[in-house]
Amino acid sequence: MRLKLGEVTDDTTMTIAVAEGILGNPENPIEAIGRRFVECEDWKEASLYVHKVTGGITAGNGTLMRCIPAALYYDNYEKMVEVTREQSKMTHYDDKASETCILYNTMVYKYLNREEKFKTLKESIKGYEEYERVFSMKKEELHLSGYVVDSFQCALWCSINYDSIEEIVA
């Protein structure tokens, strides 16, 4: 997809909707997020359609791309996890999607609270074999796809093997 300067994707629009929903009603942001999603599209209809068309396989990475506002806003870890899970379920029925969003936001939450990078990575993914094995994977073993597990494995691999965004995109 080629975007013109200043254009954004639907993922960017939905990330902004999550952030605005949290800012609009931090105690119960899901309705506010949903109202903003509806401005973009009928999220319930779209979510159900995708769920049916894919045979219930709805663990795409779109939810992962937009979940970070919850980790950036909430000081209370339990509330951050709750909002992360609920905003994911709004469009991605598969538990794997919300689970991965929670792992990602847990890492961001811990980084923001000054926890060390590798300690945070290892602690956050402990017990999740598909993510623990990233520490021993070679670049050629990564799968580039829209599946949330593949996307998060790639992100973890880059975090483990590079120190800056410049190194990753070079």
CA distances (Å), origin 158, targets 22, 56, 65, 131, 142: 29, 30, 16, 13, 11
Work out the burial of residue 87: count CB atoms within 10 Å of its CB; fewer than 13 is exposed, 13-18 middle, 19 or more buried. buried
Per-residue pLDDT in tens (0 to 9) along the chain, 170 residues: 577 887 777 788 889 999 999 999 999 999 999 888 888 766 667 766 777 777 777 788 989 999 999 999 999 999 999 999 999 988 888 899 999 999 999 999 999 999 998 999 999 999 999 999 999 999 999 999 999 999 999 999 999 999 888 988 87
| Residue 9 annotated as lining a ligand binding site | yes
Q: Say if 41 falls within a structural domain.
A: yes
Q: Say if 98 falls within a structural domain.
A: yes
Structural domain harbouring 20: 10-169
Alpha carbon distance 124, 127 (integer Å):
9
| Residue 75 annotated as lining a ligand binding site | no
Q: Say if 59 falls within a structural domain.
A: yes
Q: Say if 26 falls within a structural domain.
A: yes
Q: Say if 62 falls within a structural domain.
A: yes
Q: Say if 1 falls within a structural domain.
A: no
Task: Specify the pTM.
Answer: 0.80
Q: What CATH number should be reported for the domain holding residue 26?
A: 1.10.4080.10
Q: Say if 164 falls within a structural domain.
A: yes
Is residue 70 within 8 A of residue 84, CB to CB? The reply is: yes
The number of folded domains in the chain is 1
Q: Say if 4 falls within a structural domain.
A: no
Alpha carbon distance 33, 53 (integer Å):
24
| Residue 10 annotated as lining a ligand binding site | yes
Is residue 119 within 8 A of residue 78, CB to CB? The reply is: no
